[in-house]
Amino acid sequence: MKKKVLCVIGTRPEAIKMAPVVIAFKKSSEFEVCVLATAQHRDLLDQALSLFDIKVDYDLNIMQPGQSLPELTSRLMLGVDKVLTEIKPDLVIAQGDTTTVFVTSLACFYHKIPFAHLEAGLRTHDLYSPFPEEANRVLAGNLASLHFAPTEVSKSNLLREAMDPTKIFVTGNTVIDALLVTAQKDFTLEIDIPENKRMVLVTSHRRENFGQPITNICKAILALVKKYDDIIVVFPVHPNPNIRKVVDQYLLDNARIKLVSPFDYGPFVSAMKKAYIILTDSGGVQEEAPALGKPVLVLRRDTERPEAVMEGVVKLIGTELEDIVNEASKLLDDMNEYRAMAKGASPYGDGKSSERIVDIVRSYFEQSPR
Ligand code: UD1
Ligand code: UDP
């Protein structure tokens, strides 16, 4: 009998990172693969799913504008519980550290269904940063039967928490599978960047950056545009109202600041390829941009992704106005600084993570048939 594997997806990055896994499982005849979209994100999720042509079997359509964590958590729990009751999967996989992932792990525990955690073991070791993601991934990890750790660093975090070593597998991060396939294709970027201008690509959405930090980020962008007349800032603005409101307040109506709706994944990869430098608080972008040889300045004070920082291609700069301007200026002014960070590195994967994951799940079922 085929083993039923349920892949759960809530937000944009989960769709991008889970898509290669779904595709790899579908190639293998021993598995019946179902996809549950909680739709914690709606438009962002649909954009990402359509690029990879992922068909959703169950859609909870959870998202509400300005959703709070408690209401999101409770709606998700009832929705995921209903699907688990209906389809009784043999294994459930969820990726990362969102509320969808934490709730899925807990719902699996209640149903005594094995839960596999994709992108396991990332830690800042500060429960409140990022908030609520650090707690989400610690809690999901504690309920997991299989941990797919992207790197040796993430594996060692899990070992330090006394997780069973026989259940931890270093697979690489599936984001690199998605990136390598997407980067081969040509996607039109509908923004004109003249040959003599350098593109600064910016993204921000983290809860820790709501309020003063996002205000600082906007003011730093204004200062940089004033200081350098050869840069164009491209800022795909996350739909979270706490970000959008502030960005609109400070950055509208400047010819060299292009505020755009979130890009589909293909065009976003093109934008990363065209960028001179990238300023971001995104997790996924910290993994992808180094693989494309693009320097990344991280608008956070800590990161659960130390590997690229250690390679010298990503730098943590925080969210103070002066620090952002100074660090960006170093890269814009000094070719040696720039080259050192643009040398490229791919500590997060080789593009074959999803194949490894399917093999591990196959052996898992062979060793524990029920
Ligand atoms: C969520 C995750 C975060 C992840 C991020 C990826 C949680 C608590 N947060 O943050 O870990 O890094 O996704 O982007 O799990 N919205 C839309 N359309 C969309 C998506 C969001 O309008 O397609 C708006 C809605 O008003 C929504 C709000 O953004 O209520 C917040 O969405 P939510 O998923 O709660 O948090 P994010 O900040 O997107
Ligand atoms: N991304 C995208 N369009 C955009 C901005 C980002 O497709 O306009 C992709 C990006 O390449 C990465 C993922 O979205 O794969 C990251 O999502 P986000 O920053 O929202 O979440 P995080 O990775 O921080 O959880």
Distance between Cα 358 and ligand 1 center (Å)? 29
Residues 11, 155 within the same domain: yes
Residues 283, 308 within the same domain: yes
Decide whether any atom of ligand 1 lies within 6 Å of the 244 Cβ: no
Is residue 193 assigned to a domain?
Answer: no
Active site residue 205: yes
Is residue 241 assigned to a domain?
Answer: yes
Decide whether any atom of ligand 1 lies within 6 Å of the 242 Cβ: no
Distance between Cα 87 and ligand 2 center (Å)? 30
Nearest ligand atom owner, CA of 265: 2
Is residue 183 assigned to a domain?
Answer: no
Q: Which residue's CA lies nearest to atom 11 of ligand 1?
A: 98
pLDDT (0 to 100) of residue 238: 97
Which one of 41, 238, 300, 356 is the catalytic residue? 238
Active site residue 133: yes
Closest listed residue to residue 107, CA positions, set 201, 33, 206, 10:
10
Q: Which residue's CA lies nearest to atom 29 of ligand 1?
A: 240
pLDDT (0 to 100) of residue 228: 98
pLDDT (0 to 100) of residue 121: 98
Distance between Cα 282 and ligand 2 center (Å)? 6
Residue of 42, 69, 98, 101 with the most ligand 1 atoms within 8 Å of its CB, for mutation: 98
Q: Which residue's CA lies nearest to atom 15 of ligand 1?
A: 98
Residues 44, 18 within the same domain: yes
Is residue 187 assigned to a domain?
Answer: no
pLDDT (0 to 100) of residue 368: 78
Is residue 32 assigned to a domain?
Answer: yes
**Cα distances (Å, whole numbers) of residue 65 to 72, 198, 214, 240, 323:** 11, 35, 20, 8, 33
- Alpha-carbon gap, residue 210 to 293, rounded angstroms: 29
Residues 25, 159 within the same domain: yes
Question: What strands lie across the sheet with 198-203, from one edge to the other?
Answer: 257-260, 231-236, 198-203, 277-280, 296-298, 314-316
Tell me the CATH number at 222: 3.40.50.2000
Distance between Cα 99 and ligand 1 center (Å)? 10
Count Cβ neighbours within 10 Å for each residue of 4-26 and write b for 16 or more, e otherwise: bbbbbbbbbbbbbbbbbbbbbbe
Is residue 311 assigned to a domain?
Answer: yes
Residues 322, 223 within the same domain: yes
**Bond from prior residue into 347 cis (ω within 30 degrees of 0):** no
Closest listed residue to residue 108, CA positions, set 258, 255, 6, 206:
6
CB 72 within 8 A of CB 42: no
Residues 299, 280 within the same domain: yes
Residues 33, 121 within the same domain: yes
Closest ligand 2 atom number to CA of residue 175: 15
- The per-residue pLDDT of the chain, averaged, comes to 97
Nearest ligand atom owner, CA of 204: 2
Distance between Cα 205 and ligand 1 center (Å)? 8
pLDDT (0 to 100) of residue 186: 87
Residues 212, 159 within the same domain: no
Decide whether any atom of ligand 1 lies within 6 Å of the 42 Cβ: yes
Instruction: Tell me the sheet residues that pair with 231.
Output: 198
Residues 122, 247 within the same domain: no
Active site residue 125: no
Is residue 221 assigned to a domain?
Answer: yes
Distance between Cα 240 and ligand 1 center (Å)? 6
Residues 253, 356 within the same domain: no
Which one of 41, 90, 117, 119 is the catalytic residue? 119
Residues 309, 358 within the same domain: no
Which one of 207, 244, 256, 362 is the catalytic residue? 207
Residues 265, 360 within the same domain: no
Which one of 12, 137, 205, 300 is the catalytic residue? 205
Domain housing 106: 3-173+349-367
Q: Using H for helix, E for strand and C for coil, what is the string for 166-230?
A: HHEEECCCHHHHHHHHHHCCCCCCCCCCCCCCEEEEEECCCHHHCCHHHHHHHHHHHHHHHHCCC
Residue of 8, 17, 18, 41 with the most ligand 1 atoms within 8 Å of its CB, for mutation: 41
Active site residue 41: no
Which one of 14, 97, 307, 327 is the catalytic residue? 97
Decide whether any atom of ligand 1 lies within 6 Å of the 206 Cβ: no
Is residue 275 assigned to a domain?
Answer: yes
Number of domains composing the chain = 2
> What stretches in the chain show pLDDT beneath 50?
none
